Amino acid sequence: MSASVILASSLMLAACSGAKDNGGGRQSDSPSGDVKAASSLAPYEINIYIPGKMSKEVGTVEQAINAYLKDKINATVKLNFTEWANYTTKTNLMITSGEKFDLMYTANSYGFANEVAKGTYLQLDDLIAKYGQDILKNLAPVYVKGSKINGKMYGVPSNKEYAASQTLLVRKDLMQKYNLDPSKIKTYHDFTDWFKVIKDGEPNITPFAGVGDGSSIMASLFELFNGDYFGVLDKSANDLKVIDAFSNPKYLEALHQLRDWYNAGYIIKDAATTQVTRDEYMKNGKVFSFMVSSKPGIDKEKSLTTGMDLQQVDFSEPYSTTADVTGAILAVSRTSADPERVVKFLNLLYSDKTLLNMIDWGIEGKHYVKVSDNVIDFPPGLNSQTVGYSAQGDQWIFGNQFNSYVLKTEDPHKWDKFKQFNDSAKVSKAMGFIFDPTPVQNEINACAIIYNQYRAGLLSGSLDLDKNLPVMVEKLKSNGLDKIIAEKQKQLDKWAQTNANK
């Protein structure tokens, strides 16, 4: 069967399925889904910028999406995927040059609050109240609260997990070969014995990637504001006391553990300078393990992207912060020529299962086949590496993830487990607080320059702590570290007076 016939068939199926119950999400009954209302709108192209691999058949998928959207909101979409490594540079240039675009992925770790302060994104409260009712129906209240800045919405968070634990992803074949027992893992220190076993038994494999993996250990210990370590909360303290991470015993303990692993040969020697990602090291069979923020099924997702059968071994409990809630946000650019249409499109991402799965997985019959109502597989002869289109493991960026299909290699009850994971998480006392860096932006910039000179070396264990850590801390303090910490505490105290525990 030709590609054009498959495409035409898929569009007919999409049109039919769009009128049916979507199996969990709410189909929009707002003007955004009204054919008559759509026909009165002038055509509009929605330019979307998201990180990820540009699939070779993205144009074919865009055609299918555009045909489907015509009777919904009379809009077309342009999916501009940019490799993760280049995404920040690309979008920063777009923003500073005033380039016209409509929608982009952002997050707390990608400077969401900073860009809001600069006016990069539109305030969406009125638009969502009018055109985005299905967004509010499908998002948990904690999501809505946690994603606001000064009580206003400047982006829409993905409906997925809104908590995180930390995990070590390991090759299941080697784990079984050496009878490594996950039940014995209580803290990150317990991985030392595993790394020694792999080092001794597999001379051609490095036990632990170490490429930025130290961040996962720190994330199990501290809650960050503004994505930096210049004043943090101790997660175990359960209070609103902003502390200096660099003088905290837990921070120092973690750095010394990383240093010990590095000296023992458990971490890649050039982890601080390599341009190769952890996923690529795993895909090429070079490492036994690496760390990531965890959620149910993260091992299946990473198995898909690396081609290795992985198992997750969590070493911290689920914890929900503002940063987790703002870990994946779609924001509307102030340069958009039709923000109303963009919000209508966003509304569909939370209510229309057909649209969401076109973006996530492509065209049925061409890029995936149905195994059951909500379970899919790649077509015969294809896999995650050879299929012509998919969001390449980054489906979590888009809308209501609970409406997305799951692969047959994943747990069919994945989304139920996500909900249980969310419900079991400890919620930060600072949930909803977003630090405004403006009063100390100069100090933050200066400290960031200093810290970035040491960060990769510290978190990979490759730097001599005795020689480098005191020098770094002295430089940070002379450039305003204590002032930043005091400002965070001041803002947090003010926020707590009216917002904490509500």
Quick check: 215 pLDDT over 70? yes
**pTM of the complete model:** 0.74
- Would you say residue 399 lies in a domain? yes
On whether the CB atoms of residues 158 and 329 are closer than 8 A, the answer is: yes
In sequence order, which ranges of 48-104 are alpha helices (DSSP H)?
58-73, 84-97
Q: Give the long-range contacts of residues 187-195, CB within 8 A, separation 24 or more.
A: 187/315, 188/217, 188/220, 188/254, 188/257, 188/315, 189/257, 190/315, 191/289, 191/315, 192/257, 192/260, 192/261, 192/266, 194/170, 194/289, 195/261, 195/264, 195/266, 195/288, 195/289
| Tokens (6 digits) for 473 | 């801390």
On whether the CB atoms of residues 32 and 131 are closer than 8 A, the answer is: yes
- Would you say residue 388 lies in a domain? yes
Task: List phi, psi (to 5°) of 313.
Answer: -125, 100
Which element (helix H / strand E) includes 234?
strand 228-234
With DSSP H G I counted as helix, E B as strand and the rest as coil, what are the percentages for the chain, rounded to 5?
50, 15, 35
Which element (helix H / strand E) includes 36?
helix 35-39
On whether the CB atoms of residues 436 and 484 are closer than 8 A, the answer is: no
Compute the distance between CA of residue 464 and CA of residue 173 in angstroms, rounded to an integer. Answer: 34
Residue 108: per-residue pLDDT: 82
On whether the CB atoms of residues 168 and 132 are closer than 8 A, the answer is: no
Reference 383, options 303, 279, 277; nearest CA is: 303
Cα angle value 214/216/218 (rounded, 5°): 75
- Would you say residue 135 lies in a domain? yes
- Would you say residue 494 lies in a domain? no
Encode burial over 217-244: b for 16+ CB neighbours within 10 A, e otherwise. bbbbbbbbbbbbbbbbbbbeeeebebbb
DSSP bridge pairs for 48: 79, 103
Compute the distance between CA of residue 35 and CA of residue 12 in angstroms, rounded to an integer. Answer: 16
Amino acid at 470: P
The residue among 501 and 468 whose pLDDT is bigger is 468
Task: List phi, psi (to 5°) of 103.
Answer: -145, 140
Quick check: 149 pLDDT over 90? no
| Tokens (6 digits) for 264 | 């023992």
Reported as a pLDDT band with limits 50, 70 and 90, residue 27 is very low
- Would you say residue 339 lies in a domain? yes
User: How far is CA 117 from its chain centroid?
Assistant: 22
Reference 430, options 215, 160, 224; nearest CA is: 224
- Would you say residue 405 lies in a domain? yes
Reference 232, options 321, 316, 329; nearest CA is: 321
Q: DSSP code of 378?
A: P
Angle between the 353-361 and 339-351 helix axes, to the nearest 10 degrees? 90
Reported as a pLDDT band with limits 50, 70 and 90, residue 462 is very high
- Would you say residue 281 lies in a domain? no
On whether the CB atoms of residues 106 and 79 are closer than 8 A, the answer is: no
Residue 19: per-residue pLDDT: 36
Give tens-digit pLDDT for 104-125. 999 988 888 889 989 999 999 9
Compute the distance between CA of residue 166 and CA of residue 242 in angstroms, rounded to an integer. Answer: 22
| Tokens (6 digits) for 280 | 């690529």
Question: What is the torsional sign of CA 188, 259, 319, 327?
Answer: negative
Pairing mode of beta strands 156-157, 329-332: antiparallel
| Tokens (6 digits) for 128 | 């969502």
pLDDT (average), residues 328-337: 97
- Would you say residue 361 lies in a domain? yes
pLDDT (average), residues 336-344: 98
Residue 500: per-residue pLDDT: 55
Judging by beta carbons within 10 Å of its beta carbon (0-12, 13-18, 19+), is residue 267 exposed, middle or buried?
buried
Structural domain span for residue 124: 3-160+325-415
- What's the Cα-to-Cα distance from 403 to each of 18, 130, 164, 351, rounded to whole Å? 13, 23, 21, 8
Amino acid at 51: P
pLDDT (average), residues 84-103: 95
- Counted domains in the chain: 1
Residue 34: per-residue pLDDT: 61
On whether the CB atoms of residues 439 and 487 are closer than 8 A, the answer is: yes
Residue 4: per-residue pLDDT: 37
Task: List phi, psi (to 5°) of 111.
Answer: 75, 30
Task: List phi, psi (to 5°) of 138.
Answer: -95, -15
Give tens-digit pLDDT for 50-76. 999 889 999 999 999 999 999 999 999
Reduce the DSSP state of residue 275 to 3 states and report it: coil
On whether the CB atoms of residues 35 and 66 are closer than 8 A, the answer is: no
Pairing mode of beta strands 165-171, 375-377: unpaired
Amino acid at 82: T
Q: Other CB atoms closer than 10 Å to residue 167's CB: what's the count?
A: 26
Reported as a pLDDT band with limits 50, 70 and 90, residue 13 is very low
Residue 224: per-residue pLDDT: 92
pLDDT (average), residues 47-51: 96
Q: DSSP code of 342?
A: H
pLDDT (average), residues 378-396: 90
Reported as a pLDDT band with limits 50, 70 and 90, residue 35 is low
For all residues of the chain together, what is the average pLDDT?
90
CATH number at residue 382: 3.40.190.10
Give tens-digit pLDDT for 280-296. 999 999 999 999 998 89
